Every structure is written in C-alpha cells, then in structure tokens.
Amino acid sequence: MDINRIITVISKRSSLHPNDDYETEKCWKEETQILSEDISGTLDFFETVCTDEEFFWLSEVFSDVSEILQSRKFVQALRTRLERVTRETYDQKSFKSEHMQKWVDYDEYVRSVGMEIDYAEGALEM
C-alpha cells in the first residue's frame, strides 16, 4: 500500500468544505482504491502507522473497502484498531482538522467509527 498517497488523500479529504460533495466523492473513491489494493499493507497501515485522526476520516470508506475485500480479517483489524483509542489517549486538541477539534469528542469518535465498522461487517457476504 502506498502510505504517502493515502495520507495525502486523507489530508485533502479532511480539509474539504462539508458541502463539497464532488471532491469528497473523489477522495472516497481514491481512498477505497488504495485500501483495497493490498490487504496486508492496509492491515499493517492500521496497526503501525495510522493516527486516530486518519482512522476517523478513513472510516467513511470502511464499508466500501469491506465490500471489495470480503474479509473478516479486515473488519477484525478495524475493531482492534478502534479498541486502541481510549479516553486516556484521545487528544481532540491535537487534531489537524478544525472539524475534529470542535465537534468530535471521544464519545462521538467511538460511536461514529464503531458504526462505520458495523456497516463494514454488514457488507460481508460470508
């Protein structure tokens, strides 16, 4: 997986105006493509490189990636990654995105990302 490329796309996505549907869709398609290319690289990215903020933004495409990969291992890796986000380690003020600094407290983060992981699991045909 091209880590620099995914980080660049996440950065672009997180800086978009909330009503910029066209550019948001473009980012989602590119994120989905990158995360779907190499499952082992994707899992390694989530385990070793992905920040909490990046994980939040990528959660928007978890179900699309899951639909392509059809991998329980992918969904389990997402759940494991979410478990690493604890109330003690969650630092809302450190996020680059103004949206996350203002609106995404710990409870909202866990609720939102958890829901996206549930959708990803629902996309599995197994």
Question: Per-residue pLDDT for 6 more than 90?
Answer: yes
Query: How far apart (Å, rounded) are the C-alpha atoms in residues 53 and 7?
Result: 11
Query: How far apart (Å, rounded) are the C-alpha atoms in residues 32 and 58?
Result: 9
Quick: pLDDT tens for 10-38.
Answer: 999 999 999 999 999 999 999 999 999 99
For residue 23, the enclosing domain spans 3-122
Taking the complete model, does pTM exceed 0.85, yes or no? yes
Percent of the chain with pLDDT over 90: 98
Task: Reduce the DSSP state of residue 84 to 3 states and report it.
Answer: coil
Q: Which residues contact 39 (CB under 8 A, 6 or more apart)?
A: 69, 71, 73, 74
At 125, is the pLDDT very low, low, confident or very high (cuts 50, 70, 90)? very high
Tally of structural domains, the chain: 1
